[in-house]
Chain A
Amino acid sequence: GQQVMQIPQYQHVQEGEDFTTYCNSSTTLSNIQWYKQRPGGHPVFLIQLVKSGEVKKQKRLTFQFGEAKKNSSLHITATQTTDVGTYFCAGRGSSNTGKLIFGQGTTLQVKP
């Protein structure tokens, strides 16, 4: 079945450094979503990417969707302590109404 792999599992950075997490799917996706989960909290929707090669920005966050629609990345520029949390990618299969499969998540720690 469809699998979504995410790396790295953990990342510790100094405040101000950049951070990137990568997501790869075993199958072509119709779209991919990114979520952030703070410790003790629930996943909060960040963004959805739909088009091949799409790039979207939210302030210091840059999201990319690969040309083959099988991989994606989230890049944070100049991390801040408020960026701490676990970032999940979640891919939806070939159907736009298919189920969302979550990656394992990347937990980001930021040292002040």
Chain B
Amino acid sequence: GAVVSQHPSWVICKSGTSVKIECRSLDFQATTMFWYRQFPKQSLMLMATSNEGSKATYEQGVEKDKFLINHASLTLSTLTVTSAHPEDSSFYICSARDGTHSPYEQYFGPGTRLTVT
């Protein structure tokens, strides 16, 4: 089946620094990638949608300049949390959609747990 990888799986950083998270589709071409954030015991909240080669579409309330998304190829998208603060600590999950097959199933990565100290 389709596999999506994320790197790193967990990261601890100091307040004010930037962190980059990578999301890769390993055996299919992801025309669209999604970034979600999940706080403890809460649901997945969509942060942004990115299509390969174009700018990401951010959900309301998500700061574009803080969460930089780059979808440079059909197999790689990156999320950079800039000037991280403790309140950015969360579980970040990417999801990739194989747009060439029905039913446009989304495949989720294993997530990245970010802790900002």
Interface residues of A (CB under 8 A from B): 1, 31, 33, 35, 41-45, 48, 50, 88, 92, 96-97, 99-105, 107
Nearest CB of A to B19, in Å: 18
Q: Which partner residue on chain B sits nearest A6 by CB separation?
A: B43
Tally B residues with Cβ within 8 Å of A.
Answer: 24
Q: How many A-B residue pairs have CB under 8 A?
A: 50
- B42 proximal to A (CB < 8 A): yes
Known contacts A42-B93, A43-B93; is A99 also within 8 Å of B46 by CB?
A: yes
A42 adjacent to B108 (CB under 8 Å): yes
Q: How far is the CB of B47 from chain A (nearest CB, A)?
A: 11
Binding site for A on B (CB under 8 A): 32, 34, 36, 41-46, 49, 60, 93, 95, 97, 99, 103-111
Which B residues are CB-close (under 8 A) to A43?
Answer: 44, 93, 108
Partner of A88, one of B43, B97, B111: B43
- What's the minimum C-beta distance from A21 to chain B, rounded to whole angstroms? 13
